[in-house]
Structure formats: structure tokens, C-alpha cells
Structure 1
Amino acid sequence: MSVQYFQKIYPSGYLSRLSDLIEERLTPGADKEQIDARIWDLFGEKWAVLFTDLSGFSRFVAEFGIIHFLQIIYESQRIFSPCIDRHDGILIKMEGDSMLVLFRQPVKALQCAIDMQRTAKAYNQDKIDAEKILPCVGIGYGRILTIGEQDVFGAEVNAASKLGEDTAKAWEILVTDSVVERVQTMSDIGLERIDTIPPGANGAFKVSYALE
């Protein structure tokens, strides 16, 4: 991917600095290890990464069409945004029916995930099946590259995405082992190891919690 392409996506001072370092890294004979250390020093931060997905979404889109697709996306963002605000999260981006949210503390990320699930449960009370919002959530925690407010990259981002989008079922919250280390003091949850280990993590767990 060219530097020019990156600049079109992320037009910011952050990217200008990153672009210079990437170009330097591409120079023959460049000390890539030293440049990588500089990039991590500039853009590396520890965050909890929450990734949501909606169970059954693709099937309903195929059955009910693009307007239904837009309606569910609109409603999910509308009902989940207050949850994110209550727990000091930052919505970085939405991709289709998925949301990527950052939190400084893993406990707040997990509290937000539980809040989202309960909010969706209440929302669904008077909805037909095709309009119900059925969240799946994955959470990771660790050092990641943050490119301003535009995007994030790193092993824990990938792990959270894999858990939330590909592994979790409706109403499930799955977390990486690095999250577990920091939420074990929460008294209202349980943690059960699962067989699936997403790339970028050493283990993953299913969170048990009271949905209502």
C-alpha cells in the first residue's frame, strides 16, 4: 500500500509523521528495528479494544434488503452510543454492522459490553425477529498503534475483531487473556476459557453475566 494511498485515508499530522518513517523504512539498508521502535514510541499506546458485531445480520440483509441493513445499523448506533459515553469509550469507526471502540481501562470496556447487551435486550422487547439487535462482542487489551482518531492497528485489535465478528454468538462477550488479567476483581461476572485462541492472543475466555 503506497504512502499516497495512506494519505488519502488519513489526512493528518499523525500520518505525515508516519509516512516519513515508513518511507525511511523502505530505504535500502534501513535499520528497520530502530525505525519500528520510533514508530511504536510515537504511536504506541495501551488501550482496551471492543469490537461488536450483530448476529444473523447478513441473513436478514439478504432476506429484507439494503434499507433494512441501514435501519439496523442506525438503530444499533443510536442505542449503543449512550452506553459508550457512560463508560468513557471512544468510537473509532463503524464497518457495516460492526463497531470498534477504545477504552483506557479493560474494566470499563467490559462494563460497556454488558451495558450494550442489556440495552439491546430491552430494545428487543417489542420488536419482530427481523428487527431485533443481537450483539456479539470481542474485547482485547494491549499496546496498539493509534493513528490519530482515524484507525488503530495491532494484535489485540485483530484478536478482538476475530472474537467479536467470527467467534462470539448472540449475547456472548469473549475476551482475550490480557483482559482477564485485569477484570478478575469484578464481582458480577464469571470467566470460562474457550478452545478458540485468536491470532495475537495466548488465550480467550467467555464472560458470564446477568443479561437482565
Structure 2
Amino acid sequence: MTEPAQDEPLNTRARLDALLSRIIEEPERRGEIAAGIARDFTQRQAVLVLDMSGFSRTTQVHGVVAFLMMIHQMRLLATPAITGRNGRVIKAEADNLYCLFDQVADAVAAAREIISRLATVNVLMPADRRLYASIGIGFGDILVLADEDLFGDEVNLASKLGEDVAQGGMVLLTEAARAELDPAIPSTPERVSVSGLALVYHALA
């Protein structure tokens, strides 16, 4: 496979697909190619996964346009909080946001600002149009595809915390993410089983 041009990022989806195909074609080079993938695609980052809640009734009562409007409002409110803390929105999928930060502290600050922004807006909204978000935060080696997708254990854990465990307004951290924060920051350790996976997480006060 031809190497990318100097101004072309190494971590594109096309290049990853080509490298995976090469492993199939040349299984004896699996270790070498896998090491190259890890080198060129892996970033040590904090990952923030935001999930919106309370849509089922809204969609039933007001229709899908109301649902889409609420997602749009959430993104307008959340994105400045993320970019203002040097974060990147890597993927927006339905009512979820997947974001990366260099530091867990920045991800936590962005999460708290998002929750605060939504709470401020909700004061002016009817009860059935209010915006609620639950957020999971992880930290570790994450495979990133040129600012369009991301994969890894901490992505999966943050997703489970944000989507399956946290309630609206909650910010939950994986053990790895909590270890990156100042110990003086108050949090509560909890245990939960999700999809057969036992998790220890930390709920921010």
C-alpha cells in the first residue's frame, strides 16, 4: 500500500481499512502491522460520551421534528462548552456526542458546564421539552480515525456509563479517568453490572 502524502493524516479510515486487509493477506506480518496501527492511530486521551434522555414521550406526543429540534438545541449548547475546554467533538450520533480531551480535568469541566447550560435553558422550557444529559468520562489509549470515529475500552466504558448507568444531570467517571483527577475532588465510588460486565465507577458530587 502506498504511504500517505506528507500533508495527509496517517489515521484515516481508508488507511486503516487497507492495513486490516493487509493483515488478512499477509497473516505472517500481523504483529508488525498491528504495531503500526497502534503507533499511528492511538491517542492517549480523555473521552466524554454524552447521552440525552427523556425522548420517548416527547416523540410520541410531539413527533420526530420535536425530537430532532431537541437534539439540535443540545448540540448548540454543548459544543461551545466542549471546544472552550480544548475538546473535540469526534462524532455526533443521534442523541449522543463523543468527544476527546487531552486532560480529564478539561472533560469534567466541560461536562459540568454542559449540565449547567441545560439547567439554565430548562427554566424557560415546558416540562415535556426540557433537555437532560447524562455523561460518562473515560481515559486511556483510544484509536482515533481522523476526527470522525473512535474505539477502545475506555470509549466503551464511558458509553455504558453515559447511556446505561447515569441519570439526567449525572457525570460518571471510569476508574482510569478518576485516577487522573485531583484526589481532593469529591466523588463516590459505585459498582454496577451492565450487559454482564461488572464496573466500578465514580460519581462526581
Give identity over the alignment, percent.
Answer: 29
Quote the residue 1:88 is aligned against. Answer: 86
Cα distance in 2, alignment partners of residues 144 and 201 from structure 1: 21
Cα distance in 2, alignment partners of residues 124 and 147 from structure 1: 35
Quote the residue 1:195 is aligned against. Answer: 191
Moved over 3 A (4+): 197-202
CA pair 164-28 structure 1, distance change in 2 beyond 3 A: same
Q: TM-score, normalised by structure 2?
A: 0.87
Q: Of the candidates 58, 64, 67, which is equivalent to residue 66 of structure 1?
A: 64
Counterpart contact for 1:52–1:98, Cα < 8 Å: yes
Quote the residue 1:3 is aligned against. Answer: none
Quote the residue 2:6 is aligned against. Answer: none
1:168 partner amino acid: A
Counterpart contact for 2:192–2:199, Cα < 8 Å: no
Cα distance in 2, alignment partners of residues 16 and 79 from structure 1: 32
Counterpart contact for 1:163–1:198, Cα < 8 Å: no
Report the number of matched residues: 195
Cα distance in 1, alignment partners of residues 91 and 53 from structure 2: 19
RMSD: 2.0
Counterpart contact for 2:164–2:194, Cα < 8 Å: no
CA pair 145-198 structure 1, distance change in 2 beyond 3 A: farther
Cα distance in 2, alignment partners of residues 19 and 181 from structure 1: 34
Counterpart contact for 1:176–1:201, Cα < 8 Å: no
Cα distance in 2, alignment partners of residues 40 and 141 from structure 1: 16
Q: Is 1:113–2:111 an aligned residue pair? A: yes
Quote the residue 2:5 is aligned against. Answer: none
Gaps of 5+ in 1: 1-11
Cα distance in 2, alignment partners of residues 198 and 34 from structure 1: 35
Q: TM-score, normalised by structure 1?
A: 0.85
Cα distance in 2, alignment partners of residues 58 and 50 from structure 1: 24
Note the alpha carbon deviations across 1:186-210, whole angstroms, 9 max, x for none.
Answer: x5x41111112668996311111xx
Quote the residue 1:56 is aligned against. Answer: 54
Q: How many Å apart are 1:16 and its aligned residue?
A: 3.3
Quote the residue 2:201 is aligned against. Answer: 204
Larger displacement relative to structure 2 (69-78 or 58-67): 58-67
CA pair 116-201 structure 1, distance change in 2 beyond 3 A: farther
Quote the residue 2:122 is aligned against. Answer: 124
Residue aligned with 2:202, SS: strand
Cα distance in 2, alignment partners of residues 35 and 163 from structure 1: 32
Quote the residue 2:95 is aligned against. Answer: 97
Residue aligned with 2:114, SS: helix
Q: How many Å apart are 1:30 and its aligned residue?
A: 2.8
1:190 partner amino acid: P
Quote the residue 1:150 is aligned against. Answer: 148
Counterpart contact for 2:137–2:177, Cα < 8 Å: yes
Quote the residue 1:41 is aligned against. Answer: 39
Note the alpha carbon deviations across 1:66-119, whole angstroms, 9 max, x for none.
Answer: 011111011101111111121111011211111111111110000100111111
More strand per residue? 2
